[in-house]
Amino acid sequence: MSRWFVRPSTLRRRGVMGLNRRNAQLIAPLNPRRYYPLVDDKLRTKELALEAGIAVPELYGVIATNHDIRHLPRLLARREDFVIKPAHGSGGNGILVVTGRMQNRFRRGSGRLMDLEALGHHVSNILSGMHSLGGQPDRAMIEYRVRFDPLFDPISYEGVPDIRTLVYKGYPIMAMVRLPTRDSDGKANLHQGAVGTGIDLSSGVTTRGVWHNRIVDQHPDTGHPITGLQIPGWERLLVLAARCFELTGMGYLGVDLVLDRDHGPLMLELNARPGLAVQLANDEGLEHRVRAIDALPPRKVPPETRAQQAMDRFHAAARPPA
Amino acid sequence: MKRLHLPLLILILSGIALGIFYHKAVNLGFPLLPAQQTDNWVVEARVSFEPTGGAVTARFFIPENPPGMALLEEHFISRGYGLTTTPTGPNREAVWTTRWPSGPQAVYYRATVYPLEQPRADQAPYPGPVAQPELEEPYRSAAEEVVQKVRERSADITSFATVLVRDMNHPADENMQLFVSATDSDREKVRTAIQLLAGARIPARMAHGIQLTDRGNDLQPETWLEVHNTRSWVAIDPDDGTVGYPDDFLVWWRGDTPPVRLDRARDAQVRFSVAHNYQNAVEVARQKADLLDSRMADFSLLELPVQTQNMYRVLLLVPLGAMIIVLLRNVVGLQTFGTFMPVLIALSFRETSLLGGIILFSLIVSLGLAIRFYLEKLKLLLVPRLASVVIVVILLMLALSILSHNLGIEHGLTVALFPMVILAMTIERMSIVWEEHGPADTLRQGIGSLAVAAVCYLVMINPYIDHLFFVFPELLLIVLALTLLLGRYTGYRLTELVRFRAFGGGER
C-alpha cells in the first residue's frame, strides 16, 4: 500500500511542502507580483546581475523583431558555439544549443545539424511568443555556451547540468544538482526527466538522486554514481546564490547556477516559482528549514554571513547507510 | 480581524444564501424537486423586424385549436403596440400596429400548451372536391398517370395520400420524376403533393408546426401535409407518409404563407423557443408571495423571456463547474489544459452525450494534432499556424459529420457543437506540451482535462441540481463561499501523496 502513496501525516512530520502551501505561504506573501518581470525577463535579470557584479554568461546579441533576423549571420559570424534562448522562456523551453559549425551548418547539442534558415525559424518562433509564458511576443537572446566543469562529464547526458539553490529571505535553504538525461532531452528540469541530486549544504557534497520521483544513486544513462561528489568552490557558490536575493527582493527564489570550467560559477537564471522536487532529492521537507530561518533575528546581514549561517545550520539529514 | 475576514465573509455569504433559500422553500413553497410530471410547455415566438419608416403593421399567425394540444393561456409582449387578433382563413392572426417605431423591433407571443389525453374529434366541414389544376403537357398526362397508379394501390383518401407521399420520396418511374427531385425541401414536397392530390380532386393543405423539446431554442417550424378525408383533416408526414402528428407536436399555422407579414418593415425573423413548464408549482408559490407581500418572487428568473431562461439554465451551472475545477486541481491535483477549458468542453458534452462527446473530442484533437505537426514542418509563424489549425479543425468537423451521416451514425452530426476555437487552442497547447514535455505529459494532461470535463458534465446534467440552481439561484452564493474556502486550502494535493511517496519509504 505504502509503495504507491505516502500518508499525509508522514509528509507533515517530515515538513514536506505541497504546491498549495508553497503558493500560499511562500510565493504569495514573499514574491510581490511587480518583481516578476525582473526574473521572467532573462535580459533584465542579466542587466541587474551585471550591475551587481554577479558573473553571468556573456551576451552576444539580442534579436527583437523578425526584421532583425537578417542580422543573424553577422551576429554569429565570429562564434563557433553559442546558445539561443527566449528572454521569457520557462522550464528550459525554446533553448537551442549550438556546439560547433560545419561549413554553413550548425551542430546542435544533440549532434544534429541545422542550417541558417532553420535557425532563423527557431528565432522567429521565439519572437512570436511560442515559448514564452502566456504566449506574448518575446525577444531572442544569443549568449555564451557554458562549458561545464569536467566534474559533471560522466554524469550528464547532453545539455548543461546546473545547481538549483532555493533562497528563502536571502538565506540558501536547500540545493540540488540537476543532471540532464536522455529522457529530459538535455534539459535540466526534473519534471521533464532530469535527475536531481541533493546537496549537503554544509559541505557541498551530493547526497542522493531522484529521477521521475524515484530514488536513484546512479545516472540513468551513464551509470556513474551521483552521490558523494564534492562540488568545487561550494562556499563561493552559496554566497553567489545568496546575493541574488538583493538583486530582486524576492523572498522565495530559485537560483540556477552553472559551473563553467573557465569562468567559474555563473548565474544562469532566477525563478520566482521554483518547484518542490528538491525536497525529494534532499530527503527532507522545506518546512523545517523555513522555520529555522524565520527563527533568526530579523536583522540585515550581508550575503556572506547568510551563506555561512546556512552552511552551519543545514546538514544533510542523517540516513541509515545504504 | 484580518484572520477573521475570510471566515466571516464565507459565513455571511452562506447565511444570506441559506436564509433566502429557506424563506423561498418553506414560507413561499417553491418546489425543491423538479416536478414529477411536467407535461405543460411554454412556447415562445419572438418576432423581430426592421421598420423602414412610417406606421408599421406586423401580422403573425398564432396557433388555434392545434390538434392534440390545448392552449392554456396566451401572452402578447410588446411595448407601444396596438394589438388585435383576428381569424383569417384557417388561421388566427395577431396584428401588431404602431405609429412611431424606431430601431429594430421585437414582439413576443407566449403560450402555455398541454397535450390532450383524448384527442378532440376535430369535425371539419368537407370543403368539397377541389378543381383539377390546369397543367400543361407533359405534366398533365404525367399527373394523370401518377394518380392512376396511386389509386390502384390505395383504399381511401388517407391511404391514397400516404401512397402518394411514399412514391414521391422514392420516385420509381419517369412520370413521378417530372414532379419531384431529391433536393426538394419539405415545403416543396408538400406543394407538389397538394397539386397532385388536386389531380385526384382531394382537398389538401399545408401545415406548419414545431416539435416541442425541452429547452429548445431557435426551433425551425416543420412543414406537414394535411388532407381532408370528408370528415376531418388528416396529417401526413411529407418524409415517409406516416399518418398523424407525433406526440408533442404543436401545429402553428396552415397554408403556404410565411408566418410573418409586414407593412413598412423588413427583415422579418421568427425564433421559436420551448421549455417545460415549471410555472404550475412555482405559480402557486408566487401567488403566496403576493399574499405575503414578498418582493422575493419578483426577482425570479421565471419572469424572463423563455429564451433567456433557457440560456440561464445553462449559465447557472457554469459556476458549479468552476468550483469542481478548483476542487480537482487544488485538492486532487489533476492537470488540465487551460484552467476553465474543461467546463467549456463539459458544456458541449451536454449536446453530444458523454461517451460520444469524449470519442469525438479525442478524435478531432488527435487528428488536429497530427496536422499541427505537419504544419510545424512548413515553418509557419505562430498566428498563421493557429489560424490554419482552426481552418483544418473546421474541415475535420465537416468531414466527420458527413462521413458519420453517410454511415448512419447520429453522433457525428453533433460534432459541430464543440466550440472550435477551444478545439484549436487545445490542439495548439497540446502540441507545445508534446514538444516540450513529451507525449507522456500531454497524455496525462489530456486525460486530466477529459476526466474533469466528464465530472463537470455529470454534475451539470443532474436534473435535481439543475432544478435547484434554476429555482434558487441564491445557491450560487454558497458555491462562491465554498470556492473562497477552497482558496485557503494549503494541504497536500492527492497526487502529491503519490509524487512524494519516496518519503514514506525511508520510514521502515
So what's the pLDDT on residue A321?
39
Pair (A95, A207) in one structural domain: no
Q: Pick B138 or A259 by higher pLDDT.
A: A259
B293's torsion region: left (phi>0), alpha (psi -120 to 50) or beta?
Answer: left
Query: Which regions of chain B carry the CATH code 2.60.40.2250?
Result: 41-122+258-279
| DSSP character string of B416-482 | GGS-HHHHHHHHHHHHHHHHHHHHHHHHHHHHHHHHHHHHHHHHHT-HHHHHHHHH-TTHHHHHHHH
Cα-flanking dihedrals φ and ψ of residue A256, to 5°? -105, 115
Cβ distance of B493 and A20 shorter than 8 Å: yes
Cα distances (angstroms) measured from residue A26 to each of A9, A58, A272, A291, B333: 21, 32, 10, 12, 19
Rounded distance between C-alpha atoms, residue B242 and residue B111, angstroms: 28
Mean pLDDT score across all residues of chain A: 87
Pair (A196, A307) in one structural domain: yes
Nearest CA in chain A to B378: A121
Q: Do strands A82-86 and A140-143 pair parallel, antiparallel, or not at all (unpaired)? A: antiparallel
Sheet holding A113-114, edge to edge: A59-63, A140-143, A82-86, A96-102, A105-108, A113-114
Q: What would the mean pLDDT of B486-496 be, rounded to a whole number? A: 89
DSSP B332: I
The winner for highest mean pLDDT among A150-164, B169-183, B446-460 is B446-460
So what's the pLDDT on residue B412?
56
Tens-place pLDDT, residues B287-306 = 666 656 666 656 677 777 77
So what's the pLDDT on residue B414?
60
So what's the pLDDT on residue B324?
92
Taking CB atoms and an 8 Å cutoff, what residues of chain A touch B500?
6, 11, 16, 213, 279-280
Please state the domain count of chain A. Answer: 2
Cell of B68: 392534440
Is residue A320 situated within a structural domain? no
Nearest CA in chain A to B383: A128
- The answer to whether residues A204 and A231 touch, using CB atoms and an 8 Å cutoff, is yes
E-strand spans in A137-286?
A: 140-143, 162-168, 171-179, 195-200, 205-211, 214-216, 252-260, 264-271
Is residue A300 situated within a structural domain? yes
Rounded distance between C-alpha atoms, residue B497 and residue A5, angstroms: 5
For residue A57, the one-letter residue type is: P
Cβ distance of A8 and B381 shorter than 8 Å: no
Residue B507 pLDDT class (50, 70, 90 cuts): very low
Cβ distance of B502 and A280 shorter than 8 Å: yes
Cell of A246: 538583493
Counted across chains A and B, CB pairs separated by less than 8 A come out at: 99
So what's the pLDDT on residue B42?
85
Residue A134 pLDDT class (50, 70, 90 cuts): low
For residue A316, the one-letter residue type is: A
A136 touches chain B (CB under 8 A): no
Residue carrying the nine cell digits 525582473: A38
On the question of pLDDT at A267 being above 50, the answer is: yes
Cβ distance of B497 and A214 shorter than 8 Å: no
Q: What would the mean pLDDT of B429-455 be, rounded to a whole number? A: 82
Q: Pick B148 or B433 by higher pLDDT.
A: B148
| Pick from A18, A125, A185: CB nearest B496 | A18
On the question of pLDDT at B64 being above 90, the answer is: no
Picking from A156-170, B251-265, B419-433, B449-463, which range would have the lowest pLDDT averaged per residue?
B419-433
Is residue A1 situated within a structural domain? no
Taking CB atoms and an 8 Å cutoff, what residues of chain B touch A193?
438
Q: Which of B445, B500, B508 to mutate to test the interface with A (most CBs of A within 10 A)?
A: B500
So what's the pLDDT on residue B297?
59
Pair (A41, A184) in one structural domain: yes
Pair (A37, A106) in one structural domain: no
On the question of pLDDT at A257 being above 90, the answer is: yes
The winner for highest mean pLDDT among A173-177, B378-382, B485-489 is A173-177
Domain end marker among A114, A143, A172 = A143
- The answer to whether residues B322 and B341 touch, using CB atoms and an 8 Å cutoff, is no
So what's the pLDDT on residue B282?
63
Taking CB atoms and an 8 Å cutoff, what residues of chain A touch B438?
183, 185, 192-193
Q: CA angle, B362 as apex, B357 and B367 as ends, to 5°?
A: 130
Q: What would the mean pLDDT of A170-175 be, rounded to a whole number? A: 94
- Which CATH number fits the domain that encloses residue A105? 3.30.1490
On the question of pLDDT at A318 being above 80, the answer is: no
ipTM, interface predicted TM-score of the complex? 0.79
Picking from A106-110, A162-166, B161-165, B352-356, which range would have the lowest pLDDT averaged per residue?
B352-356
Q: How far is CA A261 from the centre of its chain?
A: 17
Q: How far is A1 from chain B (nearest CA, A)?
A: 11
Residue carrying the nine cell digits 403560450: B111
Tens-place pLDDT, residues B430-441 = 877 776 667 777
Residue A319 pLDDT class (50, 70, 90 cuts): very low
Picking from A266-280, B35-49, B256-270, which range would have the lowest pLDDT averaged per residue?
B35-49
| DSSP character string of B13-48 | HHHHHHHHHHIIIIIS---SS--S----EEEEEEEE
On the question of pLDDT at B209 being above 70, the answer is: yes
- The answer to whether residues B460 and B350 touch, using CB atoms and an 8 Å cutoff, is yes
On the question of pLDDT at B119 being above 70, the answer is: no
Pair (A221, A93) in one structural domain: no
Residue B508: exposure state from Cβ atoms within 10 A (0-12, 13-18, ≥19): exposed
So what's the pLDDT on residue B313?
81
For residue A98, the SS3 value is strand
| Pick from A10, A24, A118: CB nearest B507 | A10
On the question of pLDDT at B59 being above 70, the answer is: yes
Taking CB atoms and an 8 Å cutoff, what residues of chain A touch B432?
130
Rounded distance between C-alpha atoms, residue B254 and residue B256, angstroms: 7
Cell of B498: 503519490
So what's the pLDDT on residue B292?
60
Picking from A120-134, B99-113, B369-383, which range would have the lowest pLDDT averaged per residue?
B369-383
Picking from A238-242, A281-285, B37-41, B320-324, which range would have the lowest pLDDT averaged per residue?
B37-41
For residue B168, the SS3 value is helix
Pair (A120, A250) in one structural domain: no
Pair (A192, A163) in one structural domain: yes
Q: How far is CA A271 from the centre of its chain?
A: 8
- The answer to whether residues B257 and B41 touch, using CB atoms and an 8 Å cutoff, is no
On the question of pLDDT at B38 being above 60, the answer is: no
Q: Pick B216 or B413 by higher pLDDT.
A: B216
For residue B116, the SS3 value is coil
Q: How far is B440 from chain A (nearest CA, A)?
A: 10
The helix (run of H) or strand (run of E) holding residue A220 is none
Pair (A271, A137) in one structural domain: no
Mean pLDDT score across all residues of chain B: 82
Residue A17 pLDDT class (50, 70, 90 cuts): very high
Cα-flanking dihedrals φ and ψ of residue B41, to 5°? -125, 140
On the question of pLDDT at B127 being above 50, the answer is: yes
**CB burial string B418-438: b at 16+ within 10 A, e below:** bebebbbbbbbbbbbbbbbbe
Rounded distance between C-alpha atoms, residue B156 and residue B153, angstroms: 10
Range of the domain at A111: 59-143
Nearest CA in chain B to A92: B436
- Which CATH number fits the domain that encloses residue A244? 3.30.470.20
Cα distances (angstroms) measured from residue A298 to each of A301, A302, B356: 9, 13, 61
**What percent of chain A is modeled with pLDDT above 90?**
42
Pair (A232, A163) in one structural domain: yes
Pair (A166, A264) in one structural domain: yes
On the question of pLDDT at A168 being above 50, the answer is: yes
Is residue A318 situated within a structural domain? no
Is residue A3 situated within a structural domain? no
Q: What would the mean pLDDT of B5-9 be, rounded to a whole number? A: 90
So what's the pLDDT on residue A253?
93
Cβ distance of B497 and A121 shorter than 8 Å: no
Cβ distance of B490 and A21 shorter than 8 Å: yes
A10 touches chain B (CB under 8 A): yes
Q: Could you tell me which of B180, B299, B283, B190 has the C-alpha nearest to residue B236?
A: B190
A3 touches chain B (CB under 8 A): yes
Cβ distance of B436 and A192 shorter than 8 Å: yes
The size of chain A, in residues, is 322
On the question of pLDDT at A166 being above 90, the answer is: yes
A130 touches chain B (CB under 8 A): yes
The helix (run of H) or strand (run of E) holding residue A294 is helix A286-294
On the question of pLDDT at B340 being above 50, the answer is: yes
On the question of pLDDT at B325 being above 70, the answer is: yes
Rounded distance between C-alpha atoms, residue B283 and residue B289, angstroms: 10
Cis peptide bond prior to B138, omega within 30° of 0: yes
Pair (A155, A252) in one structural domain: yes
Residue B165 pLDDT class (50, 70, 90 cuts): confident
Cβ distance of A19 and B501 shorter than 8 Å: no
The helix (run of H) or strand (run of E) holding residue B265 is strand B265-276
Pair (A47, A69) in one structural domain: no
Residue B375 pLDDT class (50, 70, 90 cuts): confident
Nearest CA in chain B to A130: B382
CATH T-level fold of B41-122+258-279: Immunoglobulin-like (2.60.40)
Q: What would the mean pLDDT of B317-340 be, rounded to a whole number? A: 88
